[in-house]
Structure 1
């Protein structure tokens, strides 16, 4: 982000949470969990609010730019929904405008942050080209995407001491630990999808010349991406494809197969024939995240969730469902780590 002629202001991403996985977990199973863990279940309504820090606030132009940045991601055709709310307790994404740089927690990590704290911050004007790119970059983090220049497939060899020196001065004034975390640290291959680097991604920083030794073509710098790239659009649609207009019904005591690849998702609607406590669960040797929503006035609201990744058990939800109401259960597969078929049932 910024221009390659000088050191711009950069996003200072907070550390991501890391799942504690059993040491005996197979590498493919562990990799699938690492890749999927920060992504939302497709079809989730992500509510965002502007955090009240007191004072006059950021001004309408700044708020409008955030609204438009959410819309730009939505216009790709993704299955996620975004809606502004005015109560921080109802919002997964809470946006502040503090003089604290620009940053965002990544994906579902926002759920671990107190509702009294922001999960995203904008520390400079969003109406400039650099600011517009910042808004789209931080929302990319909230969708579960990391910094592209830290992609292990980029093959970047840094002049590390020069990077520390440049980012340690104005306008970023970063300590070495922040520079390492946001620039020099390479992501593990187990954390990234695909096998290539996209220097045009909105998740890429723009860098001036003299910081990169290899690849040779980038010794003069990396131009600052100012909009979503074609690869950004393709990748976000792999995780959040358009939702189907109709989904199959999951009737009580009827098993439905889960014929999914890693990262795939299956959706079912439930229309309870009676009001009582029901159990929803998966069967088979799989790692899944299981999320149940209730249809309230045409909007799906989160009701319950379960994540069995890395454990040798199946996901189970026990919930009271009401006759005459509609529910939707969404199942995202981390991996199928054993033999046999996987399925889901409500009983």
Structure 2
């Protein structure tokens, strides 16, 4: 179990705006758009990745202590070796990715959904602190979302044998999460984007899973590194060695 509060999915209030932001940013985010551009099938498999050569500016919405700010920046930079995107941290509050640290939440918009958020509001929340055992995991995980990655434990092929009553009780008592939030964040598979790789229990995007909350056998430790399949996914979205950029379609 994470020591910090689990990353919670930020619900989209305007799916049409989300769709438009994704295809305006990168038309390859869907290969099934109808002539109208808003067919149900298209939105169902929508990817939310940036243009492969996009420069992402990153800013802080509050004034975190220098040590916290530098620690967050250091771990975000760990993604840079695997993508053709470029990053820069700016002193103003109007970055494309806007981080709030004065918060009790760990969460992030998925990829281009950040473009649908008012410019004076954050797109990412980081409550974890450098002294926390899972601080690095949290930062890597949240920026994975910013790159367009979803929760791996919600992969359509995961089929985790959850003991649901125990999960509801554990997450309510420890994190104050109600049944609806648990259903959304733990039990509901991702269906709006096609899977690029097989289910990956080692992904940085996977919740840790305690065997006490499953059938007593299945468990996933807290992952602390960007996995080989994580690298494969972002390399597919943001290929470094392909001059004309990559695709967000399934190979």
Q: What TM bracket, shorter-length normalisation?
A: 0.7 to 0.9
CA distance in 1, matches of 2:4, 2:66: 25
Match for residue 40 of structure 1?
A: 50
Match for residue 325 of structure 1?
A: none
CA distance in 2, matches of 1:184, 1:139: 22
Task: Please say if residues 47 and 193 of structure 2, whose CA atoms lie closer than 8 Å, have aligned partners that are also in contact.
Answer: no
Task: Please say if residues 35 and 193 of structure 1, whose CA atoms lie closer than 8 Å, have aligned partners that are also in contact.
Answer: no
Alpha-carbon distance, 1:70 to partner = 1.8
Alignment partner for residue 61 of structure 1, among 67, 86, 89? 67
CA distance in 1, matches of 2:136, 2:199: 23
Question: Residues 8 and 222 of structure 1: is their aligned pair in 2 closer, same or farther, counting only changes over 3 Å?
Answer: farther
> Residue 32 of structure 2 aligns to a residue in which SS?
helix
Match for residue 187 of structure 1?
A: 190
Q: TM-score, normalised by structure 1?
A: 0.60
CA distance in 1, matches of 2:213, 2:109: 26
Is 1:174 matched with 2:188? no
Alignment partner for residue 235 of structure 2, among 234, 237, 240? 237
Match for residue 101 of structure 2?
A: 97
CA distance in 1, matches of 2:115, 2:48: 10
CA distance in 1, matches of 2:59, 2:4: 27
> Residue 134 of structure 2 aligns to a residue in which SS?
helix
Number of residue-to-residue matches in the alignment? 231
Structure 1 unaligned blocks of 5 or more: 22-27, 248-265, 268-330, 336-347
Alignment partner for residue 134 of structure 2, among 130, 133, 136? 130
Alpha-carbon distance, 1:128 to partner = 3.3
Alpha-carbon distance, 1:60 to partner = 1.9
CA distance in 2, matches of 1:70, 1:195: 23
Alpha-carbon distance, 1:211 to partner = 1.4
| Matching of residues 318-337 of structure 1 within 5 Å | none
Alignment partner for residue 196 of structure 1, among 195, 198, 223? 198
Question: Residues 37 and 131 of structure 1: is their aligned pair in 2 closer, same or farther, counting only changes over 3 Å?
Answer: same
- Rg larger in 1 or in 2? 1
Task: Please say if residues 19 and 34 of structure 1, whose CA atoms lie closer than 8 Å, have aligned partners that are also in contact.
Answer: no
CA distance in 2, matches of 1:70, 1:35: 27
> Residue 156 of structure 1 aligns to a residue in which SS?
coil
CA distance in 2, matches of 1:85, 1:115: 14
Alpha-carbon distance, 1:164 to partner = 1.0
Match for residue 160 of structure 1?
A: 164
CA distance in 2, matches of 1:94, 1:235: 23
Structure 2 unaligned blocks of 5 or more: 20-30, 34-40
> Residue 67 of structure 2 aligns to a residue in which SS?
helix
Between the two structures, name the one with larger relative contact order (CA 8 Å, sep ≥ 6).
Answer: 2
CA distance in 2, matches of 1:85, 1:99: 21
CA distance in 2, matches of 1:241, 1:85: 25
Is 1:73 matched with 2:79? yes
RMSD: 2.7
Alpha-carbon distance, 1:209 to partner = 2.1
Match for residue 224 of structure 2?
A: 226
Range moving further from structure 2, 39-48 or 10-19: 10-19
CA distance in 2, matches of 1:8, 1:86: 27
Alpha-carbon distance, 1:217 to partner = 4.3
More strand by share: 1
Alpha-carbon distance, 1:66 to partner = 1.4
